[in-house]
């Protein structure tokens, strides 16, 4: 796991446990969140509060999921620099491509709970999505196991109990990649960036989330080309409508031995032998 930042992702903090007549000192690990400015050819595109880990993956995934570039090969270089007030993730791309970003500049501080902060118009919030063509299929057993398997790939959550996770599920292989962040959309961007670094097309697998499935999560998944999003929580109604339109399979409430499928169920099969 690459991490260019020297800022630790968690910090120990003293606290006091109060329970009935008991008073007990305790030290808790709390996740850090710092401003991360994503710049393209020297121009700021977004400033998001994020966990200071896997920043280069974050920048690369953000560029792909937000349509700044169509593929990782369009990025000449990416680097993360620790500054006095936060981290700057610098992307360098072809100048012509950079000039086309003017209409979509995002230069506001985005809180961790929102993946759409700073956009310039309502049209951008509901931008048309590409049709997902991924053909990878998954058994019910693989899907219901994925949410539990993701827990084994969340060391920062185990330490702090305060971050989201995003994992990549591949048929017959389980969770192969995972990333964490205080922001659910940041975790997904980091995962998309990690896959791009390793040359793994998202269409070969599914995104597994510990968070609710909101509009921005569906948008990012569709832009990346993944065919299935699995979550332990619920989708929003608008997110479901977008998933339907984009051809994305949306599976939620994956807990225990059950999962609820809300759109395009053809990618979910009973057993591996059912794959043509």
**Residue 145: exposure state from Cβ atoms within 10 A (0-12, 13-18, ≥19):** middle
Going by C-alpha positions, the residue among 170, 238, 182, 241 that lies closest to residue 211 is 182
Cα angle 146, 147, 149 (rounded to 5 degrees) comes to 60
Location of structure tokens 């031995």: 257
Contact call for residues 61 and 91 (beta carbons, < 8 A): no
**DSSP output for 144-207:** HHHHHHHHTT-HHHHHHS--EEEEEEETTTEEEEEEEESSHHHHHHHHHHHHHHTT--GGGSEE
Q: What are phi and psi of 28, to 5 degrees?
A: -115, 145
The DSSP letter of residue 52 is S
Task: Encode the chain (276 residues) as per-residue pLDDT tens digits.
Answer: 345 567 889 999 998 776 677 878 989 898 998 999 999 999 888 899 999 999 999 999 999 999 999 999 999 999 999 998 899 999 999 887 887 776 555 444 566 656 665 555 555 666 789 999 999 999 999 999 998 999 999 999 999 999 999 999 999 999 999 999 999 999 999 999 999 999 999 999 999 999 999 989 999 999 999 999 999 999 998 899 999 999 999 999 998 888 999 999 999 988 877 765
Contact call for residues 175 and 208 (beta carbons, < 8 A): yes
> Domains, the chain, ranges and CATH?
34-125 (3.10.20.10), 138-274 (3.40.140.10)
Tens-digit pLDDT profile for residues 76-111? 999 999 998 899 999 999 887 887 776 555 444 566
Catalytic residue among 30, 114, 162, 200: 114
Query: Is 114 among the residues known to form the active site?
Result: yes
């Amino acid at each position: 796991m690459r991490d260019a930042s020297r800022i630790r992702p968690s910090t120990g903090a003293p606290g006091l446990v109060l329970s009935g007549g008991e008073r007990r000192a305790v030290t808790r690990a709390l996740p850090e969140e710092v401003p991360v400015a994503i710049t393209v050819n020297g121009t700021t595109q977004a400033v998001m509060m994020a966990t200071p880990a896997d920043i280069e993956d974050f920048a690369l995934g953000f560029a792909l999921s937000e349509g700044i570039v169509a593929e990782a090969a369009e990025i000449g270089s990416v680097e993360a620099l620790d500054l006095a007030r936060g981290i700057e993730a610098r992307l360098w791309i072809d100048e012509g491509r950079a000039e086309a970003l003017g209409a979509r500049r995002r230069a506001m501080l985005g809180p961790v709970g929102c993946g759409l902060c700073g956009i310039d118009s309502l049209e951008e919030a509901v931008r048309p999505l590409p049709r997902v063509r991924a053909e990878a299929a998954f058994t019910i057993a693989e899907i219901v196991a994925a949410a539990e398997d993701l827990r084994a790939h969340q060391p920062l959550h185990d330490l702090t109990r305060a971050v989201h996770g995003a994992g990549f599920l591949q048929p017959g292989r389980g969770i192969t990649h995972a990333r964490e962040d205080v922001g659910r959309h940041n975790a997904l961007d980091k995962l998309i960036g990690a896959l791009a670094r390793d040359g793994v097309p998202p269409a070969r697998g599914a995104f597994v989330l510990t968070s609710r499935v909101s509009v921005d999560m569906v948008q990012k998944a569709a832009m990346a080309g993944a065919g299935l999003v699995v979550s332990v929580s619920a989708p929003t109604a608008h997110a479901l409508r977008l998933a339907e339109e984009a051809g994305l399979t949306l599976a939620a409430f994956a807990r225990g031995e059950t999962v609820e499928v809300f759109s395009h169920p053809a990618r979910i099969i009973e057993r591996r032998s059912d794959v043509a």
